[in-house]
Chains A and B, each alone.
Chain A
Amino acid sequence: MNAPAQVTAAPATTGAGRSTLLRHLGITLVAALLLVAATYGLEPFRNFQLATVAAYLCATAGLTVLTGLNGQLSLGHGALMATGAYTVALTQTRIADTGATSGWLLAVSLLTAVVVTVAVGAVIGLAAARLRGPYLAGLTLAVAVVVPAVAITFDEVLGGEQGLSVPVAPPPLALGPYFPYERWQAWLAGAVTLLTMLLLANLVRSRFGRSVRAVRDDEVAARLAGIHVARTQVLAFVVSAGCAGLGGGLLAVLAQSVSPGAFSLTLSLFLLMAIVIGGLGSLAGAVWGAVLLVALPDLTHSLTELFTLSPSVAQRWEGNLPLAIFGVTLIVVMIAAPGGIQGLLTRIGRALPGRRR
């Protein structure tokens, strides 16, 4: 069963693979240029937001691979982000303790974060591969809820409720003495995220990516076609966890601190909302989701400023309105337009004259 499939599929993959890789490289290059251009045009706060979008994008893209393409629902990705963030905090502190100042050591911290989260993800993924729908959701929900308990139980290492600070080296001197810190953050997070997206985009187009989708669509058929279902599911979880860890690590670097409050259950729910509203089936949907995660609180802030409210009332609205909007949008999208934003755009694109296939 296995061998003939490989024979027929192999030439097709190499042929399409090369052009796909080139196309993805091209898109990444263009995106990188746009990013650098944008960082010069934007004010510092917007650059910081851009960096935050990049950090969230790592996590939402990973979750898209898992939930959108593999059909495994995880409510625990906030906890995986926390794992990455705490790893970066601990590693950066150790590095700072040795007196090393090179900014390149940040790469070591981020890689450590990925390795640690991949290990944690493998453990959860092994359990997840045996579970279905609501059971998996419940297990990962429990993982998400446990984060503060872990931080408090091991408070000597993890700093309890207070959390840890993350020492980060300043921008390299080669960029000039007055290089804005926020622009440096946007470059840093942007570079890491673009690399991640490039890898994920190719992974999704590969043989592994097809197996992942085949498992989502029909497990029995996938198994009959020679796909090792459990292995594919565990691998999807591991890849997704690594991305979440990287995203969490970036967030820790941007905020220069980590605390359990930043990785609550709400964050896990938000990540899921983001990819559902963005569009579950594609990495482009993850981009929309990450943008929404950063833009929506900002938009509601401007919205509440339009009305003259007493400070305490305004605070209530500001904290909760994004939640309400996210929730309502989620329900409406799920019921009326399961493709999300990206699905809508694709449909509009197809409806345009000349694009009809």
Chain B
Amino acid sequence: MDRFVFLTFDGLARGAVYAAFALALVLIWRAARIVNFAQGAMAVATAYVAHSVSVATGSYWIGFAAALAAGLVLGAVVDLTVMRFVSHTSPLNAVIVALGLVLVIQAVLGIVYGNEFLPAPAPFDRTAFTVGGLVLLAPYDLFVFASVGVVVLGLAWMFGRTPVGLRMRAAAFAPEVSRLLGVNVGGMLTLGWALAAGVGALAGMLVIPTEFGLHPHAMDLVFVSAFTAAVVGGLDSPPGAVIGGLVVGLLLSYVSGYVGGDVTPLAVLALLLVVLLTRPGGLFSGVAARHV
């Protein structure tokens, strides 16, 4: 029972990170109908920026801020220099270009920093404290919950309550009409990419200290988990992404706790397969009335 409680809290902490990462995927999917397969690599790149800045300044938090800023900039740059020019004749095109980006980013990181694991310190203690004999969660997990919570609430507030959020939703939903009404559709798209990459950078900063360390491929498996989380939620729904993230986090935690850590990728694949075969639109989708 103790173990179950611990694994549940651990799973929720992991899941919060997947939720943030899935949220970034959903942001771009809603804005541009693109699944950004380069998101993991982009997040790793910002984590390397944080590493350099932290080493130069001696402060973890300046590095943290630099990572978020780098994420925003990187997202905008990727949209303005690459994604904007991809033809939309086939949905494959954007995926293939994103994969090209993955190779470029990972190669550049490998050239600049080398392909060895670099240490990635956590800003708070990662040993879990116990309450009444129950091992609960670590201070670092609280930091994860708080950061992801702030982002989720911030995005919800932005899309629900601010004029910019309304314009972004309009630009994604009906680009032509929005353009006629004076919305800068291209600008909204760039903003969407920047925001998504910023959220991705945060997720990367939160998850990499819990893995083996900083490495050009550090986010490969995290990306697959987050993609699964987004698919569980349906790719289209931000609340779905959050719930999907928590589901995937719990699943991974139970599997690695009760079966073994090496099996977790297989568990992710199994979950993805089951969800895609039974409810391809995600757990929260309505059933399409008619399919041609």
Q: Which residues of A contact B (CB under 8 A)?
A: 67, 71, 73, 75, 127, 130-135, 137-139, 141-143, 145-146, 148-150, 152-153, 220, 223, 265-266, 269, 272-273, 276, 312, 316-317, 319-324, 326-331, 334-335, 338
Report 28 cross-chain contacts, Cβ distance below 8 Å, ordered by A residue: A127-B276, A130-B277, A130-B280, A131-B276, A132-B91, A134-B235, A135-B280, A138-B35, A138-B231, A142-B228, A142-B265, A142-B268, A142-B269, A145-B224, A148-B265, A153-B263, A220-B292, A272-B96, A323-B104, A326-B100, A326-B103, A327-B102, A327-B103, A329-B100, A330-B103, A331-B101, A334-B100, A335-B86
Does B73 lie at the interface of the complex (its beta carbon under 8 Å from any beta carbon of A)? no
Given contacts A127-B277, A276-B96, contact A149 B103 (CB under 8 A): no
Distance from B280 Cβ to chain A, minimum over Cβ atoms (Å): 6
Of the candidates A223, A317, A331, which one forms a contact with B100 in the assembled complex, judged by CB atoms under 8 Å apart? A331
Of the candidates A130, A141, A153, A269, which one forms a contact with B103 in the assembled complex, judged by CB atoms under 8 Å apart? A269
Contact across chains for B95 and A133 when beta carbons are under 8 A apart: yes
Residues of A within 8 A of B107 (CB): 320-324, 327
Cα distance A317–B110 in the bound complex, in angstroms: 8
Distance from B287 Cβ to chain A, minimum over Cβ atoms (Å): 15
Residues of A within 8 A of B85 (CB): 335
How does the 8 Å CB contact mask read for B84-125 relative to A, with 1 for contact and 0 for none?
011100111101110111111111101100110000000000
Cα distance A128–B105 in the bound complex, in angstroms: 29
Residues of B within 8 A of A317 (CB): 111
Cα distance A317–B217 in the bound complex, in angstroms: 17
Does B237 lie at the interface of the complex (its beta carbon under 8 Å from any beta carbon of A)? no
Distance from A11 Cβ to chain B, minimum over Cβ atoms (Å): 32
Distance from B104 Cβ to chain A, minimum over Cβ atoms (Å): 4
Cα distance A139–B228 in the bound complex, in angstroms: 9
Residue of B nearest to A137 (CB): B95
Contact across chains for A330 and B96 when beta carbons are under 8 A apart: yes
Residues of A within 8 A of B82 (CB): 331, 335
Does B262 lie at the interface of the complex (its beta carbon under 8 Å from any beta carbon of A)? yes
Does B79 lie at the interface of the complex (its beta carbon under 8 Å from any beta carbon of A)? no
Contact across chains for A131 and B280 when beta carbons are under 8 A apart: yes
Give the number of residue pairs across the A-B interface with Cβ within 8 Å.
Answer: 149
Distance from A203 Cβ to chain B, minimum over Cβ atoms (Å): 22
Residues of A within 8 A of B224 (CB): 138, 141-142, 145
Contact across chains for B91 and A145 when beta carbons are under 8 A apart: no
Main secondary structure of the interface of A (DSSP, over half): helix
A73-B92, A127-B273, A145-B221 known, 8 other contacts, Cβ within 8 Å? A137-B35, A142-B228, A149-B264, A223-B292, A316-B114, A323-B103, A326-B103, A331-B97
Residue of A nearest to B265 (CB): A149
Distance from A139 Cβ to chain B, minimum over Cβ atoms (Å): 6
Does B140 lie at the interface of the complex (its beta carbon under 8 Å from any beta carbon of A)? no
Question: Most A CB atoms within 10 A — which of B34, B96, B102?
Answer: B96
Does B272 lie at the interface of the complex (its beta carbon under 8 Å from any beta carbon of A)? yes
Cα distance A272–B97 in the bound complex, in angstroms: 11
Contact across chains for A73 and B96 when beta carbons are under 8 A apart: yes
How does the 8 Å CB contact mask read for B15-42 relative to A, with 1 for contact and 0 for none?
0000000000000000000110100000
Of the candidates B96, B105, B262, which one forms a contact with A334 in the assembled complex, judged by CB atoms under 8 Å apart? B96
Contact across chains for A320 and B280 when beta carbons are under 8 A apart: no
Contact across chains for B231 and A149 when beta carbons are under 8 A apart: no
Residues of B within 8 A of A321 (CB): 107, 111
Distance from A260 Cβ to chain B, minimum over Cβ atoms (Å): 11
Given contacts A135-B231, A152-B262, A319-B115, contact A143 B91 (CB under 8 A): no
Of the candidates B86, B100, B262, B280, which one forms a contact with A327 in the assembled complex, judged by CB atoms under 8 Å apart? B100
Contact across chains for B220 and A145 when beta carbons are under 8 A apart: yes
Cα distance A307–B134 in the bound complex, in angstroms: 60
Residues of B within 8 A of A134 (CB): 34-35, 91, 95, 235
Question: Most B CB atoms within 10 A — which of A73, A133, A272, A317?
Answer: A133
